Amino acid sequence: MTPHDMLEVAYAEARKGLAAGGIPIGAALFSADGVLLGSGHNRRVQHDDPSVHAETDAFRNAGRQRDYRKTIMVTTLSPCWYCSGLVRQFNIGAVLIGESQTFIGGHDWLAEHGVDVTVLDDERCVTMMTEFIAANPELWNEDIGVAE
Amino acid sequence: MTPHDMLEVAYAEARKGLAAGGIPIGAALFSADGVLLGSGHNRRVQHDDPSVHAETDAFRNAGRQRDYRKTIMVTTLSPCWYCSGLVRQFNIGAVLIGESQTFIGGHDWLAEHGVDVTVLDDERCVTMMTEFIAANPELWNEDIGVAE
């Protein structure tokens, strides 16, 4: 599994969310040897649930794990503080990010705390979020806690 | 609603979780004028779901809100990094904590970022967690991402 192969899984999740009328952010958790442990996407719209970001969904779908230190969290977008906090608390070893042009969360903070952070600058991810934010600014602001 | 009244709601949630065989951490989200928006407790054991901490559950049960700046998150225990990230990302204005003797998460970090943080040093909360951790060290370590 290359980083781009892993991102493909997260990107497919984001597209699935978009097709269902949701916020197009996808994520996946992999083991060190590239086994997919769980994948998921943002569920705010679909489940009316503000607590399920893409990374949370992937983390949940990976089930209860005893050790995350060698796992890799792949996400189409720079993880917000909520999702960065998840990575830090559970000592997820690496974060692979599709893009951080449309939003920057806590990935620099994670790198400072020893997480192996890579930003792929994937153009499809940038285009997907740019178009989504332009068409749905209120929904986007709701998802990242920006009031008004 | 006094801070102690609010903590009572979170404490009752923690007890409910304990009675169901779960990890005894409870939380509640209140509006500025003391209206309960949602409450909940850790669901790792009950739902086999590692993504639902007490604060996440309360946040989810409060539904989709447009502005969290005047809300108060009450929790029986110092919020871990995952839950501290939630508070920061959604700009929850205040965090009221039962105790921070048995575990310290990101509450100092939240205070540095402008969140109004209060630790009540509630003895019942301390006793509840002390007894739980002593009896279930592996489960506790799993919940806070400590491997081995």
The active-site residue, picked from B8, B13, B55, B142, is: B55
User: In this complex, which of A60, A85, A147 lies closest to B50 when CB atoms are compared?
Assistant: A60
Q: Look at B50 and A66 and tell me if their CB atoms are within 8 Å.
A: no
Q: Which of A48, A65, A89 minimises the CB distance to B82?
A: A89
Among chain B residues, CA nearest to A147: B67
Whether A81 contacts chain B with CB within 8 A: yes
Is B105 touching A (CB cutoff 8 A)? yes
- Tell which A residues from 22 to 51 touch B, by Cβ distance under 8 Å: 44, 48-51
ipTM of the complex: 0.97
CA dist list (Å): A75 to A39, A138, B45: 10, 22, 27
Nearest Cα of chain B lies from the Cα of A9 at a distance, in angstroms, of: 20
Per-residue tens of pLDDT for chain B, all 148 residues: 999 999 999 999 999 999 999 999 999 999 999 999 999 999 999 999 999 999 999 999 999 999 999 999 999 999 999 999 999 999 999 999 999 999 999 999 999 999 999 999 999 999 999 999 999 999 999 999 999 7
Q: pLDDT truncated to tens, each residue of chain A (148 aa)? A: 999 999 999 999 999 999 999 999 999 999 999 999 999 999 999 999 999 999 999 999 999 999 999 999 999 999 999 999 999 999 999 999 999 999 999 999 999 999 999 999 999 999 999 999 999 999 999 999 999 7
Say if CB B118 and CB B97 are below 8 A apart: yes
pLDDT computed for residue B148 by the predictor: 77
pLDDT of residue B79: 98
Q: Which of left, alpha, beta for B33 (phi over 0: left; psi -120 to 50: alpha)?
A: alpha
Residue B55 known to be catalytic: yes
To the nearest whole angstrom, how far is the Cα of B5 from the nearest Cα of chain A?
A: 25
Please return the burial class of A129, using the count of CB atoms within 10 Å of its CB with bins 0-12, 13-18 and 19+.
Answer: buried
A63 touches chain B (CB under 8 A): yes
Q: Using alpha carbons, list the distances in angstroms from residue A28 to A7, B10, B58, B63, B107.
A: 8, 32, 25, 25, 28
Contact B84, B55 (CB under 8 A): no
Alpha-carbon gap, residue A42 to A39, rounded angstroms: 11
Does B134 lie at the interface with A, CB-CB under 8 angstroms? no
Q: How far apart are CA A100 and CA A148, in angstroms?
A: 23
pLDDT at B8: 98
Cβ neighbours, 10 Å, residue B42: 28
Query: What is the structure's pLDDT at A148?
Result: 77
The number of angstroms, rounded, from the C-alpha of A147 to the middle of its chain's C-alpha atoms is: 22
Q: Cβ contact (<8 Å) for B63 and A50?
A: yes
A-chain CB neighbours of B44 within 8 Å are 64
